[in-house]
Amino acid sequence: MIDTVIFDMDGLLVDSEPLWGIAMREVFATVGVNLSPELTHLTTGLRTKEVVSYWHNYYKWEGKSAEQVVTEIIDSVIAKIIAEGKSMEGLTYILEYFKEKEFKMGLASSSPLRLINAVLDHLQIKQYFQAVYSAEFEDYGKPHPAVYLACAQALSSDPLDCIAFEDSVTGMTAAKAARMTTVVVPEAHNRNDPRYALANMKLDSLLEFNDARLSLLMK
């Protein structure tokens, strides 16, 4: 019986993907790496250290360690979210919807915990979640299911009883690998990616989720 919902964060609850892109391009520029928006989209859904490692292996810059670049990117994203971060359409609606249904609610993100906490404080939504997990503490990040499995375990929920909400292919793959029923709400620019056919349901907005759609997922 589905009684648990677990949310991704970046690009699903908070409109942070553009801010991540800006922060990455700004920090990478300090080591002589110029990334286009198209290139930053290639690593959407991965942990920050994996993104930096990916580009460090490719460009092999000098002057700053990969760890220093990771720290600078995270610091920059946190500052940008606090200054201008906005919730995604339907954020309050979807959280209140599942709260009223008395679902157990968790958050499973690739972002480091200090950034997650900054977002939850900024949007004032921490009280909705009984479990908050970051993939930074797992051996593997998304698309590995580890962070979803850890969050489900913290909620005392069987993964088969969980709905996972995601916005990226990487996150969707992680949730499906955890054997969770998966709803994707992709960003407009990649909404037609055929890989989203793997999800149980695809929406254009969190506002589209309702009792009828929940019933379809619970059949």
Q: What is the pTM of this model?
A: 0.91
Does the active-site annotation cover 8?
yes
Total structural domains in the chain? 2
Q: 81-109, pLDDT tens digit by residue?
A: 999 999 999 999 999 999 999 999 999 99
Which residues form the domain of 37? 17-84
**What CATH number does residue 97 fall under?**
3.40.50.1000
Q: Which of 3, 10, 161, 211 is catalytic?
A: 10
Based on the fold, state whether residues 105 and 46 are members of the same structural domain. no
Based on the fold, state whether residues 170 and 195 are members of the same structural domain. yes
Give the whole-angstrom CA distance, residue 84 versus residue 164.
27
pLDDT above 90: residue 188: no
Q: 143-163, pLDDT tens digit by residue?
A: 999 999 999 999 999 999 999
CA angle 87, 90, 92 (to 5 degrees): 75
DSSP 71: H
Q: Which of 3, 8, 15, 158 is catalytic?
A: 8
Q: 12-25, pLDDT tens digit by residue?
A: 999 998 899 899 99
Based on the fold, state whether residues 56 and 121 are members of the same structural domain. no
Band (190; pLDDT cuts 50, 70, 90): confident
Give the whole-angstrom CA distance, residue 174 versus residue 168.
10
Based on the fold, state whether residues 122 and 140 are members of the same structural domain. yes
Based on the fold, state whether residues 53 and 25 are members of the same structural domain. yes
Q: 30-59, pLDDT tens digit by residue?
A: 999 998 888 877 787 788 999 899 999 989
CB-CB contact of 179 with 6 (8 Å):
no
Does the active-site annotation cover 121?
no
